Amino acid sequence: MKVLITGKNGQLGSELQRSCPDNIEIQCFDSQSLDITDIAVVNEILISFSPDIVINTAAYTAVDKAESDIDAAYAVNQTGAANLATACKAISAKLIHISTDFVFDGSKTTPYVSADATNPLGVYGASKLAGEQAVSRILGSQATIVRTAWVYSKFGKNFVKTMLRLMAEKDQLGIVYDQVGTPTWAAGLANMLWALVQKQSDKVGAESKTLNQTKILNWTDAGVASWYDFAVAIQELAIEQGLLNKAIPISAIPASSYPTPAKRPEFSVLNKTEAEALTSVKTIHWRKQLKSMLEQVKAEKVKVESDK
Ligand SMILES: NC(=O)c1ccc[n+]([C@@H]2O[C@H](COP(=O)([O-])OP(=O)(O)OC[C@H]3O[C@@H](n4cnc5c(N)ncnc54)[C@H](OP(=O)(O)O)[C@@H]3O)[C@@H](O)[C@H]2O)c1
């Protein structure tokens, strides 16, 4: 089976390459070699590689910057997704398109299921939702959308690496307690996606084929945390691993004390039952996944210093 991966230098794109099963041939592209906003390039590359499945990890992911960079966010997250879907349709390839918890407004108090009403709070979420809608419209049951949240990895920039750096540099930190979700190790997400790919050759989409509907799945690690809980766990586990040599005080602050250009959902826990049943992959508690990631950071001496 041949799988084409977009966004190869991102967190998820990197983890997918690292964990690719032996029976799958992959071709991976960065934004230079495959700019998904360019339909001519997208068509040319998909026709020449002729993949069975495309995994679209490419996205405009700068949530705050998107508020003032609206056209760029929509170009990648909506038009780029639509371009891939159109090219997939032309060569009869399936598309696994990655999306986000930010399509929801966070007003629920129980885990979101895929059928819940969407209502993005900002440009990033709205542009990702527009991408989902384009993919569904163009490909129907030939596409699967996987919504995830709070992604981190040893690759790229993310909350864990930022915390490790700040905890080494600062005397104290204030972290938001009134936004709740589930941290997600990109390696675990990649593992589930490869299981989904293996299923794609036969089952995925089969049950919804008669309705020609796109299946929407959720995937994060297991459990629930606030950003404050996550930060406390990062510090505790990093000290245990010897990645930090002292604990600094971490205080729980309301989101209102840490204003950001983009509003974020207060509650974005996702229900993963359907993805677990479909792939036979079980979610693992976020704290256990965090420990595994920090072990990698230590073993591989991953750089977490400031990029400045
Ligand atoms: N990170 C999170 O917390 C989070 C949460 C929920 C959902 N998601 C979703 O999960 C997916 C993977 O996220 P991630 O964390 O791996 O993202 P990431 O690390 O920011 O990587 C995104 C990748 O997309 C590439 N890209 C941007 N514009 C492109 C274009 N026009 N053509 C081709 N590639 C382009 C970027 O390449 P360059 O670096 O070269 O620009 C980058 O390598 C995305 O769909 C994202 O929306 C992420």
For 291, counting Cβ atoms within 10 Å of its Cβ (0-12 exposed, 13-18 middle, 19+ buried), the class is middle
Please tell me the predicted confidence (pLDDT) of residue 205.
46
Whole-number Å distance between alpha carbons of 262 and 276: 31
Q: Mean pLDDT, consecutive 10-residue segments, the chain of 308 residues?
A: 97 98 97 98 97 98 97 98 98 98 98 97 98 98 98 96 97 97 98 95 51 93 98 98 96 95 97 97 98 95 65
- Secondary structure (3-state) at 96: strand
Please tell me the predicted confidence (pLDDT) of residue 211.
66
Which ligand 1 atom lies nearest to the CA of residue 80? 31
Active site members: 124
Beta carbons within 10 angstroms of residue 69's beta carbon: 15
Please tell me the predicted confidence (pLDDT) of residue 204.
42
Centroid of ligand 1 to alpha carbon of 59 (angstroms): 4
Centroid of ligand 1 to alpha carbon of 215 (angstroms): 21
Please tell me the predicted confidence (pLDDT) of residue 216.
98
Strand partners, 175: 252
Please tell me the predicted confidence (pLDDT) of residue 230.
98
Centroid of ligand 1 to alpha carbon of 242 (angstroms): 30
pTM: 0.95
Residue owning tokens 């490909």: 139
Chain centroid offset of residue 34 CA:
19
Give the alpha-carbon dihedral of 35, 37, 43, 48, to 10 degrees.
Answer: 10
Phi, psi dihedrals of residue 269, rounded to the nearest 5°: -75, 135
Ligand 1 pocket: which of 14, 31, 101 to mutate (most atoms within 8 A of CB): 31
Ligand 1 pocket: which of 135, 151, 179, 218 to mutate (most atoms within 8 A of CB): 151
Q: All domains of the chain, ordered by start, with CATH?
A: 2-151+184-221+264-283 (3.40.50.720)
Structure tokens belonging to residue 98: 């990655």
Which ligand 1 atom lies nearest to the CA of residue 76? 31
Centroid of ligand 1 to alpha carbon of 245 (angstroms): 32
| Residue identifier of the C-alpha nearest atom 29 of ligand 1 | 31
Which residues line ligand 1 at a C-beta cut-off of 6 Å?
Answer: 6-7, 9-13, 30-31, 34-37, 57-61, 76, 80, 98, 100-101, 128, 148-151, 156
- Torsion 204-208-214-220 (CA) sign: negative
Helix 186-200 vs helix 286-299: angle between axes, to the nearest 10 degrees?
110
Which ligand 1 atom lies nearest to the CA of residue 59? 24
Strand partners, 76: none
| Residue identifier of the C-alpha nearest atom 43 of ligand 1 | 10
Please tell me the predicted confidence (pLDDT) of residue 200.
83
Structure tokens belonging to residue 308: 């400045």
Please tell me the predicted confidence (pLDDT) of residue 209.
52
| Residue identifier of the C-alpha nearest atom 17 of ligand 1 | 10
Please tell me the predicted confidence (pLDDT) of residue 139.
98
Which ligand 1 atom lies nearest to the CA of residue 11? 16
Centroid of ligand 1 to alpha carbon of 240 (angstroms): 31
Please tell me the predicted confidence (pLDDT) of residue 308.
39
Under 8 Å between Cβ of 33 and 72: no
Centroid of ligand 1 to alpha carbon of 184 (angstroms): 15
Chain centroid offset of residue 101 CA:
9
